[in-house]
């Protein structure tokens, strides 16, 4: 997606800009996927190579830092005056921290722009178990009761089917026995 010189001039970074669709703070439970869209813009007149770095910090302590692969690579190119749109998810083992995604420029290897959000742990533990694999923390009552519910529903269907057959029998007219006529006089 190309943008005009007017739009490029309105952007803050001279070497590149990063944007995303996350709010300034969000509720996040550790171990879950955090889906987002990240946009990287190259406002310059030459092709640039960028990398994304995800940092999780609590107060002034660095909790974790890792490069985010884009199209399977650490570094990715953006054409001059172009915008790259990326959709994906991140997963962290901590919450109650600040998530910062930094945009690094390849030539200078400096952070040229960043976006941040505060990950706040939910106040309740009423979340479903983490996906795809997580240790069970309590009994999963739905999986235990589901077979009973299914058998109950099957029983109700069978009873209603049996009742409808009986009702059909009652609705049929009662037939009288056939009477055979005698052979008659001339036989």
Handedness of CA 55, 61, 64, 67 (dihedral sign): positive
| CATH number for the domain harbouring residue 10 | 2.60.40.10
Report if residue 24 sits inside a domain: yes
For 114-145, the pLDDT digits (tens) are: 999 999 888 765 555 555 554 555 556 666 67
| One domain, residues 149 and 82 | no
Mean pLDDT for the chain overall: 78
**Domain co-membership, 45 together with 86:** yes
Quick one: 45 and 96 in the same domain?
yes
The pair of structure tokens assigned to 87 is 């959709």
Q: Return the minimum-mean-pLDDT range out of 2-11, 90-99, 117-126, 137-146.
A: 2-11
Checking if the pLDDT of 45 tops 70, the result is yes
Residue 62 structural domain? 5-122
Q: How many domains does the chain have?
A: 2
Q: Enter the pTM of the model.
A: 0.59
* Higher-scoring residue by pLDDT: 131, 152: 152
36 domain residue, yes or no: yes
Give the Å distances, CA to CA, from 79 to 64, 76, 89, 101: 31, 10, 24, 21
């Amino acid at each position: 997606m190309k943008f005009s010189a007017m739009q490029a001039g309105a952007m803050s970074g001279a070497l590149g800009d990063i944007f995303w669709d996350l709010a300034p703070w969000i509720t996040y439970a550790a171990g879950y996927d955090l889906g987002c869209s990240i946009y990287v813009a190259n406002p310059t007149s030459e092709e640039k190579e960028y990398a994304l770095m995800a940092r999780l910090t609590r107060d002034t302590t660095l909790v974790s830092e890792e490069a985010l692969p884009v199209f399977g690579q650490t570094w990715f190119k953006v054409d001059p005056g172009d915008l790259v749109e990326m959709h994906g998810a991140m997963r962290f083992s901590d919450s109650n921290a600040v998530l910062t995604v930094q945009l690094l420029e390849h030539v200078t290897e400096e952070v040229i722009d960043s976006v941040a959000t505060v990950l706040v742990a939910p106040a309740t533990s009423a979340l479903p178990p983490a996906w795809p694999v997580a240790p069970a923390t309590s009994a999963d009552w739905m999986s235990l009761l589901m077979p009973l519910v299914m058998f109950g529903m099957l029983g109700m269907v069978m009873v209603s089917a049996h009742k409808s057959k009986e009702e059909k029998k009652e609705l049929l007219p009662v037939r009288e026995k056939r009477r055979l006529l005698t052979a008659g006089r001339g036989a």
